Amino acid sequence: MNAETLRERTREFLDRNDPATTDRLEFLRARFDAGLAWVHFPEGLGGLGAERELQNVVDQELAAAGAPDNDPRRIGIGLGMAAPTILAFGTDEQKHRFLRPLWTGEEVWCQLFSEPGAGSDLAAVGTRAVRDGDDWLVTGQKVWTSSAHSARWAILLTRTDPDVPKHAGMSYFVLDMTAPGVEVRPLRQITGEAEFNEVFMTDTRIPDTDRLGEVGDGWRVAQTTLMNERVAIGGRPVPREGGMIGPVARAWRDRPEVRTPELHDRLVDLWVQSEALRLAGVRLRQQLAVGHPGPEGSAMKLAFARLNQELTGLELEMLGEDGLRYDDWTMRRPDLVDFLGREAGYRYLRAKGNSIEGGTSEVLRNIIAERVLGLPAEARVDTKVPWKDLPR
């Protein structure tokens, strides 16, 4: 499949399915069935078994024709994490059941991995799944779950064997979020909002047919999920001042009265670093495009978090009296999160999460040191002991 053939095929699809007259959902379903959803997926599962890069060709043609998209930001967890995992580990039946409504957005997915006692140390998860005939009974608590309150399905990491070392005793399931015993509670953050949820499961029944991968192989399945999460980071190109530097630079331009020499030098320094980070992202994508992905992704996330925090901290100092004020402490449950949204105080507080969510900066530094620089790992004390005997 080359670009020309694919472009031709997309145009033919558009001829058959006029976006102007077709119902949005019908259009998306038809697109999936035509293999134009994610062309690198297999035929019959929304794809054509083509190169991943060729997706651009389809997207351009469809966008030019004014076709609706599947609102990827809203269903990012399904697209970015659940789908590749189902593709890699799902049975044929699972793939056919889940992927189409996942892609069209008819069914929203969430991810149930982190727990209060298993954050950076994800392999310590303690949510217990106990075999009960053809089902599993699941009890435990998950945390930091976005979209849990709108999700139909979840990908779920559980402990099925506490008597073996922690990496060996996990299993991975698809959980029906409407099943009895699933309770979703909003988790309020320091911003006042609740972007995330806690999810409690109490004797929740999951049929064994909803297991992904072998019993005890959950860690390996989860690695696939997480690897795909990382790929998603730093994805799209950003224009100059497209990140957190944007609102801060605008505030500087708009308010001559707040300018001081000290703030000026700090701001220009952060501008320099922000632009260098953006260029590093451009460089990373250029490396990917020629098939030589560099190891800089983790370092970029580190810099992203640090710069967001320094910039927003500077902004409050710059605003002076206005920096003493907040826009609104009302508890809300936003569907989408925009780090740059709302006012300076919100940005300052929200940015604190950037060095925690999606891998803490501390864990990322370990990864860079060990996997990129090849520095020796520290001795592990937790890999040979049965999970139940670990100190916690």
Instruction: List binders of a copy of itself among 251-270 (CB under 8 A).
Output: 261-262, 264-265
Q: Which stretch binds another protein (CB under 8 A): 25-33, 131-139, 150-158, 272-280?
A: 272-280
Query: Length of the chain, please?
Result: 392
Q: Where are the beta strands (DSSP E) in 252-307?
A: none
119 binds, among another protein, a copy of itself, none (CB under 5 to 8 A by kind): another protein
Does 353 sit near another protein (CB under 8 A)?
Answer: yes
Figure out which of the listed residues 73, 96, 255, 325 binds another protein, where binding follows CB under 8 A: 325
Does 373 sit near a copy of itself (CB under 8 A)?
Answer: no
Q: Which is nearer to a copy of itself, 4 or 262 (CB)?
A: 262
CB of 262 to a copy of itself, least distance (A): 4
Q: Which is nearer to another protein, 232 or 288 (CB)?
A: 288
Q: 77 with 111: CB under 8 angstroms?
A: yes
Figure out which of the listed residues 52, 73, 264, 332 binds another protein, where binding follows CB under 8 A: 264
For another protein, the binding residues in 361-390 under the rule CB under 8 A are 361-362, 364-366, 368-370, 372-382, 385, 390
Question: If we measure between CA atoms, which residue out of 92, 387, 4, 2 comes closest to residue 218?
Answer: 387
Q: Which is nearer to a copy of itself, 11 or 264 (CB)?
A: 264
**Paired tokens of 177:** 């979020």
Please confirm, yes or no, whether 229 is among the known catalytic residues: yes
Beta bridge partners of 131: 136
**Paired tokens of 125:** 């998860």
**Paired tokens of 238:** 């950003």
CB of 378 to a copy of itself, least distance (A): 8
Figure out which of the listed residues 20, 253, 254, 291 binds another protein, where binding follows CB under 8 A: 253
Q: Which stretch binds another protein (CB under 8 A): 55-63, 77-85, 110-118, 219-227?
A: 110-118
Q: Which is nearer to another protein, 227 or 369 (CB)?
A: 369
Q: Which residues contact 88 (CB under 8 A, 6 or more apart)?
A: 221, 224
Does 381 sit near a copy of itself (CB under 8 A)?
Answer: yes
CB of 305 to another protein, least distance (A): 10
Which position has the token pair 């399905």? 153
Which position has the token pair 């217990």? 128
For another protein, the binding residues in 282-311 under the rule CB under 8 A are 282-283, 286-287, 290, 294, 296, 299-300, 302-303, 309
Q: 50 with 1: CB under 8 angstroms?
A: yes
**Paired tokens of 77:** 């967890």
Does 41 sit near another protein (CB under 8 A)?
Answer: no
Q: Which is nearer to a copy of itself, 1 or 263 (CB)?
A: 263
How far apart CA 345 and CA 353 sit, in angstroms, is 14
The burial class, CB within 10 Å (0-12 / 13-18 / 19+), for 26 is exposed
Does 179 sit near another protein (CB under 8 A)?
Answer: no
Figure out which of the listed residues 225, 315, 355, 359 binds another protein, where binding follows CB under 8 A: 355
Q: 215 with 226: CB under 8 angstroms?
A: no
Query: DSSP code of 243?
Result: S
Beta bridge partners of 111: 155
How far apart CA 120 and CA 289 sit, in angstroms, is 31
For a copy of itself, the binding residues in 220-249 under the rule CB under 8 A are none
For a copy of itself, the binding residues in 265-324 under the rule CB under 8 A are 265
CB of 347 to a copy of itself, least distance (A): 24
Long-range contacts of 29-37 (CB under 8 A, 24+ apart): 29/100, 29/104, 31/62, 31/67, 32/100, 32/103, 32/104, 33/100, 34/9, 36/9, 36/10, 36/62, 37/70, 37/103
List the catalytic residue out of 229, 321, 343, 362.
229
Does 379 sit near a copy of itself (CB under 8 A)?
Answer: yes
How far apart CA 84 and CA 222 sit, in angstroms, is 11
- Which residues are near a copy of itself by CB under 8 A? 261-262, 264-265, 378-379, 381
| Residues catalogued as catalytic | 229
